[in-house]
Amino acid sequence: MTIDLSSTLAALPAPPTPAGRRFRPLVLRTLVAIALSCLVCSTLSLGLQAWLTFGAQVDDERSMARDIAATRLPRLADALRRRDGSAIQQELDLISRYPRVVNARLFAETGAAYAAGAPSDLPGAPQGVLHDMLPRAALHGIEMPIAAAGADPTTLGRLELDFDRSGLSAEMRRSVARTAVAIVLPAVLLGLLVAWMLHRDISRGLRLIARQAALLKPEELGPLPIWPRPQRRWRDEIDLVADSFQQLHRGIARYVGERDRALQRLGAERDRLETAVQQRTADLTRLNRVLESASRLSARLIYLPPDAYPLALRMALADIAELLGARACALAERGDARRWTWTFSGGTGGCPAEGTELPPLFPVDGWQMQWCTESSDCHESRALLHGCAAGSLQVCRHDAADSGQLLACLDLPQAVEEREIALIAKPLFGALARWRDLAQLEQARRELLHQSRSDALTGLANRRAFDERKLEEVRRAWRSQRPLTLVMVDIDHFKRFNDRYGHAAGDDCLARVARAIGAAFERGGECAARIGGEEFAVLLPDVSADDAERRCERIRQTLHHMAIPHADSPLGFVTVSMGIATLCMTERPPPDIAFDRLLKRADMALYGAKSAGRNGIVMLM
């Protein structure tokens, strides 16, 4: 049954209007009276006060000008006639001491000019000196002619005076402030009166209505509200609001009664239908979400590079935790030692630490689903629950002969059906196995790459790695205009060492010498390589020949301390000869030719070291 509230309220009778009481808006009447009074009074008072202050200032300046004209101009005329400059300057100094006179200037007909007071803009004087002291708007100038006394009033010059009106605005502001204070006090009193009237006639009544409206609820309307107000000869807005509220109260009471009766008839039918629909659709909705999630998970994890799997699995576990309403989800693996370790985890918080071991688990064959709570009878379940610091735990586990995977969902609100958790676990377990296989393949690839570029005996780079680097370093040195140094190292009398001590001792000697070379040249970018039987080469980018020589000397000292026995050596222990050459930066042939020239010069330096008795260093620039 549908009930129209608007039609119900429209059908209610309107409240009767008392005879002889007309509506007079209280707030509008009061605000209009205050606004007009304040506007008229403030405008008239402030205008009159400003006019009087300005007039007094002008009268004072005129009176001062008349006094100067009566007392000082005759003396100035006499001094001008006599051309007495000191008397003229003295009179100007006296004039400049008058109140508010900031500058006095006299311009004689003869062309002479005199000034007193603040510096003036006289011809030849710096411009703007007086204006820097007082703004132009603060100065008011008066010009007075100076005439000779007697029957022939010849003009002898003119006197210019600048009065300081900078205090006029301040005086006007003080006058306006006094007038404003005189107006503010009545305005405040009037405002207090208005506030009291508004509180008595409007605010108190509205608060009563607001309290009643806050208590107005369809479930419990209560009795019809009544607001006590004093009797007046008119009605205002509060009376209208109170009457409308009472009318609304009566309409709502009638509507609520009809609504409750209709809802009682519909309630039972609605509850029955909702229960049936929710029961039938909940399982299908949850299963559909699980299927969609499993499909997206499989598509996301099927073609990933090995280094992208960890992040993708953590994100997938966080999405699964959000889908199932769990706090976190985690993946664990079992190796050959039958030890389970947490591999990845994701969720909103409290995830198991990756790399930590799980409590011992009994082996199973194939798949196992398990719901663990504090009330579980199985000791294994409670141990796993406490290890995860969770209140409940759903476990999906797949165990095989050589490996095993486990998915744990922490703090689920309720157990998930086995088919749903299996749909989610299968793509995760497959992705985890693929990641392990790809990681092993990548490790094997890197090991093969390293073996193909390193010498098995010494651990240094081999000839192949050296050849790949040499042209690249030549180009880089030319681009950066930084030195490139090549060091050639050869073990002295190594063939005799092999003949005397055997090849096993020779291999050990090569390895120890290689360690000394690698320790001396271990900075980033430097390449030490074994390029022959007992011959080594070192590429040193951004290293000068002098620096290379010092580091080669370190190799000699290291071998001296190692003292590898060599009976056929003049010193009785193994020594090396070294040649140093740097890349020519002025000529730029093809990189391979440039490096061949560099190598020949390093070989020449090496042969020079051998010719000089071995166990030495020769450097060719």
pLDDT per residue as tens digits for the range 414-449: 777 777 888 888 888 888 888 888 888 888 888 787
Judge if 357 and 458 occupy the same domain: no
Domain-located, residue 67:
no
Q: Which of 68-72, 238-242, 361-365 has the highest mean pLDDT?
A: 68-72
Domain-located, residue 419:
yes
Any idea what the CATH number is for the domain that residue 530 is in?
A: 3.30.70.270
Q: Over 80: is that where the pLDDT of 234 sits?
A: no
pLDDT digits (tens, 9 = 90+) for 159-187: 888 877 666 677 777 777 777 777 767 77
Q: Over 70: is that where the pLDDT of 16 sits?
A: no
Mean pLDDT along residues 96-101: 81
- 482 near 591, Cβ under 8 Å? no
pLDDT band (50, 70, 90) for residue 135? very low
Any idea what the CATH number is for the domain that residue 154 is in?
A: 3.30.450.20
Domain-located, residue 548:
yes
pLDDT digits (tens, 9 = 90+) for 184-211: 677 777 777 877 777 677 767 777 777 7
Q: Over 50: is that where the pLDDT of 384 sits?
A: yes
What pLDDT was estimated at residue 575?
94
Judge if 328 and 425 occupy the same domain: yes
Count the residues in the chain: 621
Counted domains in the chain: 3
Q: What is the mean pLDDT of the chain?
A: 79
Judge if 435 and 463 occupy the same domain: no
Distance of CA 225 to the CA centre of its chain: 56
What pLDDT was estimated at residue 361?
80
Mean pLDDT along residues 115-133: 49
Q: Over 50: is that where the pLDDT of 611 sits?
A: yes
Q: Over 60: is that where the pLDDT of 602 sits?
A: yes
Lowest mean pLDDT of 83-92, 374-383, 479-488, 605-614, name the range. 374-383
Give percent above pLDDT 70 in the chain.
Answer: 86
Q: Which residue has the tokens 């165990």?
A: 399
pLDDT band (50, 70, 90) for residue 581? very high
- 581 near 598, Cβ under 8 Å? yes
- 520 near 558, Cβ under 8 Å? yes
Closest CA to 224 of 255, 257, 258, 253: 253
pLDDT band (50, 70, 90) for residue 11? very low
Lowest mean pLDDT of 251-255, 376-380, 592-596, name the range. 376-380
Domain-located, residue 195:
no
Token pair, residue 452, equals: 């193909």
What pLDDT was estimated at residue 26?
60
What pLDDT was estimated at residue 150?
63
- Give the side-chain half-sphere CA count within 13 A for 540: 26
Q: Over 80: is that where the pLDDT of 481 sits?
A: yes
What pLDDT was estimated at residue 507?
92
Q: Over 60: is that where the pLDDT of 128 sits?
A: no
Judge if 491 and 439 occupy the same domain: no
Any idea what the CATH number is for the domain that residue 381 is in?
A: 3.30.450.40
Domain-located, residue 280:
no
Token pair, residue 287, equals: 């299963």
pLDDT band (50, 70, 90) for residue 1? very low
Judge if 495 and 349 occupy the same domain: no
pLDDT band (50, 70, 90) for residue 511? very high
C-alpha–C-alpha distance, residues 31 and 595, integer Å: 99
Higher-confidence residue of 534 and 413: namely: 534
C-alpha–C-alpha distance, residues 308 and 435, integer Å: 9
Domain-located, residue 103:
yes
C-alpha–C-alpha distance, residues 457 and 36, integer Å: 108
Last residue of a domain, one of 164, 181, 206: 164
Closest CA to 54 of 139, 161, 225, 175: 175
Strand partners, 110: none
Judge if 385 and 507 occupy the same domain: no
- 345 near 330, Cβ under 8 Å? yes
Q: How far apart are the first and last CA of the chain?
A: 107
- DSSP for 176-213, please give it: HHHHHHHHHHHHHHHHHHHHHHHIIIIIHHHHHHHHHH
Judge if 312 and 439 occupy the same domain: yes
Q: Over 60: is that where the pLDDT of 101 sits?
A: yes
What pLDDT was estimated at residue 347?
82
Distance of CA 254 to the CA centre of its chain: 58
C-alpha–C-alpha distance, residues 79 and 93, integer Å: 14
- 249 near 216, Cβ under 8 Å? yes
C-alpha–C-alpha distance, residues 73 and 95, integer Å: 10
Q: Which amino acid is it at 235?
A: R
Judge if 435 and 549 occupy the same domain: no
Mean pLDDT along residues 130-148: 58
Q: Over 90: is that where the pLDDT of 509 sits?
A: yes
Token pair, residue 596, equals: 């061949």
Strand order in the sheet with 139-147: 113-117, 101-108, 155-164, 139-147
Judge if 397 and 499 occupy the same domain: no
pLDDT band (50, 70, 90) for residue 14? very low
pTM listed for this prediction: 0.41
How far, in Å, are 296, 313, 318, 430, 439 from residue 300 at the CA level? 6, 10, 14, 12, 18
Q: Which residue has the tokens 């100065």?
A: 139
- 139 near 165, Cβ under 8 Å? yes
- 564 near 491, Cβ under 8 Å? no
Which segments of 367-460 does DSSP mark as H helices, in order?
379-388, 418-453
- DSSP for 230-260, please give it: ---SSB-HHHHHHHHHHHHHHHHHHHHHHHH
Mean pLDDT along residues 590-604: 92
Mean pLDDT along residues 289-310: 78
Compute φ and ψ for 123, nearest 5 degrees: -60, 130
pLDDT digits (tens, 9 = 90+) for 333-364: 887 667 888 888 888 777 788 888 888 787 77
Judge if 539 and 600 occupy the same domain: yes
C-alpha–C-alpha distance, residues 348 and 330, integer Å: 12
Domain range for 149 is 72-164
Last residue of a domain, one of 164, 188, 223: 164
pLDDT band (50, 70, 90) for residue 3? very low
Last residue of a domain, one of 108, 134, 164: 164
Domain-located, residue 264:
no
Domain-located, residue 365:
yes
Judge if 367 and 458 occupy the same domain: no
237-301 helix and 309-324 helix, angle to the nearest 10 degrees: 140
Can you give 293-340 as a three-state secondary structure string? HHHHHHHHHCCCCHHHHHHHHHHHHHHHHHHHCCCEEEEEEECCCCCE
Lowest mean pLDDT of 115-119, 338-342, 555-559, name the range. 115-119
Residue 3 DSSP label: -
Q: Over 90: is that where the pLDDT of 253 sits?
A: no
Distance of CA 39 to the CA centre of its chain: 52
Q: Which of 117-121, 139-143, 581-585 has the highest mean pLDDT?
A: 581-585
185-204: b (≥16 Cβ within 10 Å) or e: eeeeeeeeeeeeebeebbee
Higher-confidence residue of 594 and 37: namely: 594
Judge if 366 and 514 occupy the same domain: no
